[in-house]
Structure 1
Amino acid sequence: MSDVANQNADRPKPFAVNWGARLGWCLLALYLVYACAQLGFSPARFSAGLEHGQRFLERMFPPNFTRWQLIASGIAESLQIAVIATFAGILVSLPIGLMASRNLMPGWISWPARGFIALCRSFHPIIVAILFVKAIGFGALAGVMALIVASIGFISKLFAEAIEEISAKQVEAVRATGAGFLSVLIMGVQPQVLPRFIGFATYQLDSNLRNSTMVGIVGGGGIGASLFTAYQRFDFDVVLAILIVIVSLIMLAEILSGWARKVFQ
């Protein structure tokens, strides 16, 4: 009996209390309370915000589409910005992503390429758009350049990771035939990464459509500029109309991107 008792005592409890985890959750809860107090959060302020939001929504209905020409021109410009930025960003991302792949390139090439990708990913597109607006002025060109930088940071990183995950056997088989580096890329690498790359490209187009609205708010052209102007004029019914069109455009782009992935993959 004593041996059985000793064995039962040595067994870990099935529902043992993790005091370290409990202490961590308590510290997190205390910090949340402290952070809310420092930022000025209060029930009274939240209640007042709900009242202001209710009045704001009441002024937005019904949506006003009388300025449809302005909305249509802004949507067309945002679409042009997104398509140009996606196309140019993909063209630049292909060689950068290839140089960043550590299984095909030596370290003195891959690490600087990865550093450049990290630099492109370090800033939000709005911040980059502000820099380009200050550098080259207001307009669609600043928005296009900002979204190109964002596209490079996203596509290059994922493309490099996709190359690093390919099967080395197919690459070595092509190399064994005496093929050059370009032939190895075409016959050994491209068939393995093409389906994933199509998915990356379609997702980036969706992202650029959304970001084209945000960069327009800071002066990068597109429908974002019209949205910001409507806010400044307190034309909240026009604001709702623009938001409805933006949501419809994004949903349509999502449907088309899903169709493209099924067709080309």
Structure 2
Amino acid sequence: MTRRQAFASNWQGRTALIALAIYCVYAAMQLDISWARIAVGLGEGARFLGRMWPPNFERWDTLVEGLVESLQIAVLASALGIVISLPLSLLAARNLSPWWISGPARAFIALCRSLHYVIVAILFVKAVGFGALAGVAALTVASMGFIAKLFAEAIEEISMKQVEAVRATGAGRLAVLLYGVLPQVASRFVGFCIYQLDSNLRNSTLVGIVGAGGIGGTLFAAFKRFDYDFVAAILLSIIAMIFLAEVISARIRKALQ
């Protein structure tokens, strides 16, 4: 009688892990990553943090103006992205649309997701100029790429029995969508929308660095002036805003469960 090992040796997996470890060491050497540079960086980082303390909130009016603009950018981009993503996801769902419709719709969604929103913001800044319009446009494109994909996947997971039951009553296509499709995915849609709003609120602080409006522009200007105590005030304000948004979104999710 042969004895079987509880955990059989997986030489392929071990070889892959060893190869990955060797490549990580090689990549670190090529990128000039060393413990000496990390040690120097930690010291410089400590001195940098020392220059940021204490935070300076004297220019609170500029701070509030940037935060309000970031909030407006996030809300507008989320609303536009959701409105556009809903019909786009219905077209991209393969259980509701033929391939010659769902294919191009999915390709467009993939195109929206192919570029980072900061790169898209740079493109819109070049197209429409500096300001909040470029930020709204960039985050709208990013929202479409994320929400439409999740919407389409959620629609593809629905039960077609309910859809066929509504169709059997002689209902039109719009009625089928309203009474056969959307009720099955409504709670997930709301969750996706809340998450995207929360995400856009964070992203709106970043697109401003490239000139697309929001508190990011104020932050970048403070860095260029070496105004590090005001930088600390901006960063703390951004953290407080994101934390407050996270608390509110968590309560909304809990109320909808």
Same fold (TM over 0.5): yes
1:256 paired to 2:235 = no
1:241-260 residue CA offsets vs partner (Å, 9 max, x unmatched)? 11111111111111111222
Is 1:144 aligned with 2:132?
no
Residue 4 of structure 1 corresponds to none
Which residue pairs with 2:205 in the alignment?
213
Q: Indicate yes or no: 2:10 matched with 1:18.
A: yes
Letter in 1 for 2:29: A
CA–CA distance in 1 between the matches of 2:94 and 2:164? 16
Paired residue total: 257
| Counterpart residue type for residue 15 of structure 2 | L
Task: Map residues 104-253 of structure 1 onto 2, 5 A cutoff.
Answer: 104-253=96-245
**Secondary structure of the residue that 1:85 maps to in structure 2?**
helix
**Candidates 61, 65, 75, aligned match of 1:69:** 61
- In 2, the alpha carbon distance for the partners of 1:190 and 1:25 equals 45
Question: What is the alpha-carbon distance in structure 2 between the residues aligned to residue 17 and residue 103 of structure 1?
Answer: 43
Higher deviation after alignment, 254-263 or 40-49:
254-263
d(CA) in 2 for partners of 1:19, 1:217: 48
**1:109, 1:25 → 2: CA distance?**
43
Q: Distance in 1 between matches of 2:188 and 2:164?
A: 21
* Deviates most, 21-30 or 93-102: 21-30
Greater radius of gyration (CA): 1
In structure 2, stretches of 5+ residues that fail to align are: none
User: CA offset at residue 20 of structure 1?
Assistant: 1.8
1:40 to 32, 38, 42: 32
Counterpart residue identity of residue 176, structure 1: A
Q: Secondary structure at the match of 2:183?
A: helix
Show the counterpart of 2:89.
Answer: 97
Gaps of 5+ in 1: 1-6
Question: AA paired with 1:41?
Answer: I
TM-score (norm 2): 0.97
Q: Deviations over 1:50-87 (max 9, x none)?
A: 11101001001111101101000000000000001011
- CA distance in structure 2 between the partners assigned to 1:242 and 1:48 by the alignment: 26
Offset at residue 25 of structure 1 (A):
1.4
Distance 1:243 1:167, change over 3 A: same
The SS at the match of 1:14 is coil
Give the TM-score taking structure 1 as reference length.
Answer: 0.95
| Distance (Å, rounded) in 2 between the aligned partners of 1:225 and 1:56 | 21
Distance in structure 1 (CA, Å) of the matches to 2:205 and 2:7: 51
Q: Give the C-alpha shift of residue 42 in structure 1.
A: 1.4
**Pair 1:58 & 2:50 matched:** yes
RMSD of Structure 2 on Structure 1 (CA)? 1.0
